[in-house]
Every structure is written in C-alpha cells, then in structure tokens.
A = this chain, B = another copy of it.
Amino acid sequence: MRVLYGTAMAQAVQASIGDSEFDRDTALTPRTPGVYDAELSAGWTIMRAVNGGYLLALLGRALGDALPHPDPFTVSAHYLSASRPGPAVIRTEAVRSGGSLSTGQASLFQYDKDGTEVERIRLLATYGDLDKLPAEVRTPAAPPPFPPYEKCLGASDGPRPPIPGGSEILDRLNIRLDPATAGWAVGAPSGKGEMRGWFSLADGRDADPLSLLLTVDALPPTAFELGIKGWTPTVELTVHIRRRPAPGPLRVALTTRNAAGGFLEEDAEVWDSENRLVAQSRQLAKMPAGR
C-alpha cells in the first residue's frame, strides 16, 4: 500500500471537529480556574481587523468549559477596542446556574506595551444543552430563496476582490455568494443592504455551535453592497444558537434595513442542510464618517 503524503493527502482528508484549523486557532490553554490563555491568529483577519465572529468563538469555547452547560444559546458581546493578532487572555465568571440554563460573563484582554491588560470584548452568555431541546417545531422560519451552490460565486470564479487591508480569513472559508449580492466585487454594488451565500470552513470541518458564532460574522458585510467603503466596526453583536446544525454546507443571509445616523444594523440568519434556522444574530455597526 502506498502511503500518500503532502498536499494531495491533506486535501483528500476533511478536517473533523476537533482537529480543524478553526479548532487549532480557537484553542485555549487553561491558566487558573475560569482563566484561559489564547493566541489570536492572523489567519482570521479582514481589513486588518481580527474577525469579530472568530473572537466570539474563542470566548464561547472558554465559557463552554467554565459553565455547567455545554452549548451557547444566546451570546451578547460589546466590542470595546480593536483586537490584533497575538496573545490574549480570557477571564470568565459564572453568574447563575440553573437546571436547564446557566449564564456567564467573559472578557477578552490583550496586552499593551508594558504588559497591562486592555479589555477588547466583554460579553454575557446563557448556555444550555442543545441535545435536550424539545423536538417540537411550532412555527419554523423558512429560508429565503438561494441559487443552487453551483450557480453561486466563489474563489475559483474570479480574482480575489480588492478588499483594502487584506482578507486572510477568506483562505479559511469556503464562501460562494449569491450573484445578486456580489456586485460589490466587480465595482457595481447593488445599493441594497443584502448579502447571501453558501458557507463552510475551507478544510471541510462540519459546523457546530462554536463555528456558528464565527459564521454569523464571516460573510462580506452588507456595507459592501451599500457602497460603503471603509471599515464598519461592530459595536455590539447578539447571537442566538437555535439548533445543533446538521452536517453539510450552510446558507447565510445578511440584511441591513436601517443605515442612518451613522450606524447600521446587520441581521444574519444561518440555515442548515435540513432547512432549519440554526443561528440568528444582529450586530450594530458604526458607519465611517462621510461614508
């Protein structure tokens, strides 16, 4: 039997939950109870900023370890200062533990020149066990129309769109955009606050509740289709994980309805291969002055 090494082998074997790039880059080293060291990877940056959903996944992993319940149900994060690749520490606090839900608080800090901790994000989250949800479906939301995967546009369909400051994160994601929301990539933004695409991790790892925290913030922002040039930093982001995702690619739909007064909200919905709503979020983001 010939043993294959190298790129061909790596491409042939899909990563599984636990040994994927995503898991390596969100790994934590316990320091003391409730305190975890982390390394923010430069691989998850866009426009020079560490992706907010990647940061949420790191914090989510910490609280999943610190709290009695394993899965994030609702996570509400306030982004205080911009994170950058490099060392970080996460400090958690158990706030309340109940029978089916527990609530915790977590902060991510980095270090300034003299080693002082600077808080980047503070969040509250309520955790439960997604495997213990009642099976009943009273009124399920239905996904919006998406073109089939083959008709959507991905990395192989054209040059990397010119995103100022780079887009390292795109190497780790397999995103295929609905052509109706890809005009920005060829200099023709639609003017509508919409972004839709198929989503999976580039190394094939299946989705799970932690990767859903990344997923709601991983698509190009609706700001691109609104013709907004420049970074729209996230002020606050609340995510609800509604169901454990089935294996297979996800569909993500972003919507912005109210861009006014210097802020916009961006709503995300994530649908799995069984057409179920697995995650939903809203973030409030600040628009650049003078757009």
Contact = CB atoms under 8 A, between A and B. Distances in A.
Contacts of A140: 258-260
Interface stretch (A2-10, A16-24, A116-124, A200-208): A116-124
B240 A284 contact: yes
Contact of A263 (B95, B96, B125, B242): B242
Contacts of A105: 122
A230 to B, nearest CB: 13
A1 interface: no
B235 A74 contact: yes
Interface string A243-266: 100000000000011111111110
A134 B76 contact: no
A133 interface: yes
B242 A76 contact: no
A126 interface: yes
Contacts of A277: 257-258, 260
Interface residues of A, number: 55
A291 interface: yes
A134 B261 CA distance: 5
A261 B133 contact: yes
B126 A124 contact: no
A283 to B, nearest CB: 10
A62 B7 CA distance: 58
B124 A193 contact: no
A242 B151 CA distance: 37
Nearest to A103: B78
A176 interface: no
A126 to B, nearest CB: 6
B139 A76 contact: no
A242 B256 contact: no
A138 B226 contact: yes
Given A256-B139, A257-B139, A257-B141, A124 B78 contact: yes
Interface of A: 73-74, 76-78, 80-81, 95-96, 101, 103, 105, 119, 122-126, 133-141, 191, 193, 226, 228, 235-236, 238, 240, 242-243, 256-265, 276-277, 280, 282, 284, 287, 289, 291
Given A103-B122, A240-B265, 13 more contacts: A73-B263, A74-B78, A76-B77, A136-B262, A138-B226, A138-B264, A139-B256, A140-B258, A140-B259, A141-B258, A236-B240, A242-B261, A243-B260
